[in-house]
Amino acid sequence: MEMTSLPTGYRALIIGASGGIGSAIADALAADPRCGGVQRLSRRYDGLDLTHEDSVAAAAARLSGGFHLIFCATGGLAIDGIGPEKSLKQIAPEVMMKQFALNAIGTALVLKHFVPLLVRRERALMAFLSARVGSIGDNRLGGWISYRASKAALNQIVRTASVEIARTHPQAVVVPLHPGTVATSLTENYAGGHIRLPPEDSARALLGVLDGLTSEQTGQFFAYDGQPIEW
């Protein structure tokens, strides 16, 4: 997957690079002859914990700036072994707080500390893994309240940040992306009969969508097939 909209020698950073989608994205970029280097960060190998600001700030401080692409491929569906709720009766405040801490607040912390590492006067891409179930308008099934709400919050955080980032990075594209139902450990028990995409296919599709977006589309919500998703 060549990122043809980025300059030869572009630098990329993948946050959450030890996960199924994150590692596939990092590998795809590393194989791109136009790429000048891929920096990988993860909790597994670097101790990066998006639920603690000190950890996020320290990870950002260890890196030099000048990234043309930052892709945050983190997220949690089942946290500490507890999966999404099927009914209102299953809502537990402590579980909901953990979903928001990782999926929503973690996203905000990445934006706070890693946006300064984006190139300013060139095309810059920044993407965050969201989920179609985070769409409020597309919600027809109910359930999964904590996960849905945390992803909806992620979408709002990215949308709001994109407005501010456009003032200092006029060529930037900052978007939440839905990767599809991907064959990873996250979806293993929750696919619900949906066909699961291999991580490599999802990664190529996501990078293709990102590569084709313009700065006028910053802050919008897209699926892996390039189709916009309603909020």
Model pLDDT for residues 176-214, shown as the tens digit of each residue? 999 998 876 565 555 556 676 899 999 999 999 999 999
Amino acid symbol at 44: R
Contact 120/169 with Cβ under 8 angstroms?
Answer: yes
Task: List, for residues 84-113, the tens digit of each pLDDT value.
Answer: 999 999 999 999 999 999 999 999 999 999
Phi then psi dihedrals of residue 71, to 5 deg: -120, 115
| pLDDT tens-digit map of 28-52 | 999 999 999 999 999 999 999 999 9
- Written as one string, the DSSP assignment of 113-169 is HHGGGB-SSS-EEEEEE--GGG-STT--S---HHHHHHHHHHHHHHHHHHHHHHHH-
- Compute the distance between CA of residue 84 and CA of residue 147 in angstroms, rounded to an integer: 7
What type of residue sits at position 87? S
Range name among 2-11, 78-87, 204-213 with the lowest pLDDT average? 78-87
Domain ranges of the chain: 10-223
pTM over 0.75: yes
Sequence-ordered alpha helix ranges (H) in the chain: 20-30, 43-46, 53-61, 93-99, 106-114, 145-168, 199-212
What is the rounded average pLDDT for all residues in the chain?
94
Residues 76 and 204: their CA atoms lie apart, in Å, by 22
10-223: CATH superfamily: NAD(P)-binding Rossmann-like Domain (3.40.50.720)
